Amino acid sequence: MIWAAGGFLVLLVAGTPIVLALGIAALLAIELTTTAPISIVAQRVYGGISSFTLMAIPFFVASGLLMEAGGIARRFVNLAGALVGWITGSLYLVSIVTGTGLAAISGSGSADTAAISAVMTPEMRRRRYDIDLAAAVIAASGSLASIIPPSIVMIVIAVTANQSIGAMFLGGILPGILVAGSMMVGCWLHARRGGEAYRDTAGFSLGRLWAGLKDAGPGLLVPVVIIGGIVGGIFTATEAACVALFVTLFVTLVIYREITPADLPRIFLRAISLSATVLIIISTAAVFTWIIATQGFPAMLRDWLTGITDSPWVFLLIVNLLLLVIGMFMESISAVLILLPILLPIAQGYGIDPVQFGIVTALNLSIGLITPPYGICLYVASSVAGRRIEQVSRRIWLPLGCMLLVLLLVTYVPTISLWLPSVLL
Amino acid sequence: MPGRKTDGGDRAAPRSPILTIPCLALRALRRLVDGVALLLIAYMACAILAQIVGRYFFNYSIAWSEETATFAQIWLTLLGAGIAMRHNQHVGVDVLVRRLPVWVQRLCGGAGFVMGVWFLATVVVGSLAMVAIGFIVKSPALRLPMAVPYTALPVGFGYFLLEFVLATLPRVIHPERAAAEADETETAA
């Protein structure tokens, strides 16, 4: 146990890729403390990735990358501009609405952040917006991708927790809308007290809204297919992901035509390598969690926690703090894979619904995407804006505060995450 | 033919004849891996689509599609891990170590390198036994030998090991140059 956990932390700090740090630490622990044959490592690695459900990940990643290469971000920005462009502080609101829309077709926060930043940052700079706050808001808008379906993190959570992906996806919808809504209110309140720049808005026009809808409409087919297919019991999540991929191919190649079939190998290879980074961590984490479990660590932690408190409220508070801190330093997928198998049985012991617990985990880790020092969305938004992470971090409080508020709500009001799955599935 | 160089070959720095052949072989191998990976994802998408179409339009359940697509996915993941290593896409936390003196970075990098090779080689060697058993064990739906998916382990992790050595060794020797390189800011999640 000491070898596995200690070895992992040392390797992590030394800059070893997480996928290898997990494997090496597990191998160290197996070699030094057990007599298990070494072929067990290969077996666990295989067991970790041999899953039909996980196939949804490469499909969703490919369809998200295709949409972004096909020019969906600009179309969503236009639609969002028609929807909320007339409100004070319009560009903040447009970024948030665009982030919500992109989150519904892609599962990757960093890719969404890059797409929104590329379109919105020049415009925000031109209109003399506070560029650090702008980058912070864009980072938070991009991070919605891990809460709003389809979400790669949610798939990993569902597979790890042995829950239905459909239930997790539906459970994420309301929390995602709450985060987007609270950030919009927060930005609007901030902009009302702000300078003249924020009052430079375009008037509302139905014609513009209609034009925006027509242009962005085909892209909106993707969430319709995914959610409709899962809710209607037509597809499994893997099948929905596959259909979403074909719909995306049709929309980008036939309707939008900003990419050609010649671009496909490049885009698909990127999708393959990006999704492999997720799936291969699942395989080495399988070895790691196995060795941790055989050495009785989860039971130790459970006894320790139940010794401290028998209140699920206090337990959830401790979990939130733990996940927030871990999210600051670690990437979401590996955090889920290491922590969820340990925390979930304890949560169920306190009578907490696994779907709600999964949503709380996802929300915490999406906050981890925008908190320094290691927040991938914060990182992407800052670098596109040409600002240092420290500068943007100083303005992170507004979007971060909104997300924390929603996190508290979702933690202590289970209905928010459980209502939609219970009504629709 | 002397004097004529294949285009693209100039990117590979060493021009001595001893290194030209390994460089060409590496490029051919990477092409092959990329091509196979693209075929695999295309196959997966088509197999799942066939499953849906079969179920709804022909009222016919296809047993082979799910199993073969899962096998394709295992191959895709393991080859993709090597492709990702080539592009330096595996996530790691190097914020801390970069602030340390170069010799400490070299030490950390060197230790991580040796242990990484150890882990990857262990999986390759350990999986050979699985492949051997896999010729006897048959898959549940199609009765295919399980060696079909199991072979992905030694092949995929072997390729991962190769790309790991190629990507990491230069950074262990010259950590200060690696720090100047552009960061990979993209993750799937």
ipTM of this predicted structure = 0.90
Could you give the CA distance from residue A375 to residue A384 in angstroms, rounded to a whole number? 14
The H or E element spanning position B51 is helix B17-57
Nearest CB among A107, A156, A268 relative to B38 is that of: A268
Chain B nearest CA to A207, separation (Å): 36
Per-residue pLDDT of chain B (189 residues; tens, 9 = 90+): 333 334 443 444 555 677 788 899 999 999 999 999 999 999 999 999 999 998 888 777 777 888 999 999 999 999 999 999 999 888 887 777 778 888 888 888 899 999 999 999 999 999 999 999 999 999 988 899 999 999 999 999 999 999 999 999 988 888 777 655 544 556 666
Hey, what amino acid is at A161?
A
**Both structure tokens of A264:** 């496909």
Would you report the helix, strand and coil content of chain B in percent, each value rounded to 5? 70, 0, 25
pLDDT of residue A214: 92
Chain A nearest CA to B5, separation (Å): 25
A-chain CB neighbours of B144 within 8 Å are: none
Could you give the CA distance from residue A81 to residue A91 in angstroms, rounded to a whole number? 8
Span A31-57, pLDDT tens digits:
888 888 888 899 999 998 888 889 999
Q: By C-alpha distance, which of A169, A172, A176 is closest to A230?
A: A169
Nearest CB among B41, B105, B164 relative to A58 is that of: B41
* Mutation to test the B interface, candidates A3, A12, A16, A337, most B Cβ within 10 Å: A16
Nearest CA in chain B to A18: B92
pLDDT of residue A378: 94
Interface contact flag, A15 B93, Cβ < 8 Å: yes
Q: By C-alpha distance, which of A410, A355, A336, A413 is closest to A153?
A: A336
Interface contact flag, B84 A114, Cβ < 8 Å: no
The mean per-residue pLDDT over the stretch A289-298 comes to: 85
pLDDT of residue A301: 84
Q: Does B41 touch chain A (CB under 8 A)?
A: yes
Instruction: Please provide residue B145's backbone torsions phi and psi, each rounded to the nearest 5 degrees.
Output: -65, 135
Interface contact flag, A280 B126, Cβ < 8 Å: no
Instruction: Give the residue carrying structure tokens 């519904």.
Output: A104
The mean per-residue pLDDT over the stretch A260-270 comes to: 96
Tell me the residue length of chain B: 189
- Binned at pLDDT 50, 70 and 90, residue A9 comes out as confident
Chain B nearest CA to A63, separation (Å): 11
Q: Does B145 touch chain A (CB under 8 A)?
A: no
Hey, what amino acid is at A130?
D
Instruction: Please provide residue A324's backbone torsions phi and psi, each rounded to the nearest 5 degrees.
Output: -65, -45
**Both structure tokens of A143:** 């991070």
Q: Please say if the pLDDT value at position A183 is more than 90.
A: yes
pLDDT of residue B34: 97
The helix/strand/coil state of B180 is: helix
Share of chain A above pLDDT 90, in %: 75
The mean per-residue pLDDT over the stretch A326-346 comes to: 90
B-chain CB neighbours of A39 within 8 Å are: 126-127, 129-130
pLDDT of residue A14: 84
Could you give the CA distance from residue B144 to residue B68 in angstroms, rounded to a whole number? 10
B-chain CB neighbours of A49 within 8 Å are: 73-74, 77-78
- Bigger pLDDT: A333 vs B11: A333
The helix/strand/coil state of B145 is: strand
Interface contact flag, B73 A43, Cβ < 8 Å: no
